[in-house]
Amino acid sequence: MHISYPWDSVTLAFWLRYPNPFASHVLSVDVIDRHVDQKTGTLRTTRLILKWGGLSVLPKWGRGLVKNPIALVLEESEINPHAQTMTTLTRNITHARMMQVEEWQTFRVDPNDSGKTQVKSEARIISKLGWGLTERIERFGVRKFADNTKKVSIQKREAGLFEAGYGKQETTYERCTWQL
């Protein structure tokens, strides 16, 4: 995916995205750790995000599985200002047995246009719930990931790994590819 803004603006927007009136489900964001690697200049940050899930986002068949709609999410990021790259890993801490969601994002300057930013997103969705619901829960998670990214084509792949690219068709399994 390409964003028509320079890398420094996009990465700044990433850090300023909460609080946000359009993301009222995010209750708080706390920095747990932040330090700069003195050798590389890379900024490493770990944040804890508290979200209100609300049972309305779940399908009717899944509402009885979640007793507490509040979720804790851990976000780890690295920003290398010299290489102009930012990578993030976001994963839920709560409700992980029912559905563990891990999302990786990489932001970098578009090599063909320094005024644009390339973003690559991948997610792994795994359920360990059992009771014959594992596949159904994972499919729901894939659909939610896809819905959050606009137009999506989905192909099969092992272990629920999904990748977002810009307008390319993947030939491997269980991959989500979308175009904005």
pLDDT of residue 50: 95
Q: Which domains does the chain have, with CATH numbers?
A: 2-179 (3.30.530)
pLDDT block averages, 10 residues each, the chain of length 180 = 90 87 89 96 96 74 79 96 96 87 94 94 85 83 75 35 37 32
Q: Which pTM does this prediction carry?
A: 0.77
Residue 98: phi, psi to the nearest 5?
-70, -50
> Counting Cβ atoms within 10 Å, is residue 125 exposed (0-12), middle (13-18) or buried (19+)?
buried
pLDDT of residue 141: 83
pLDDT of residue 48: 97
pLDDT of residue 72: 94
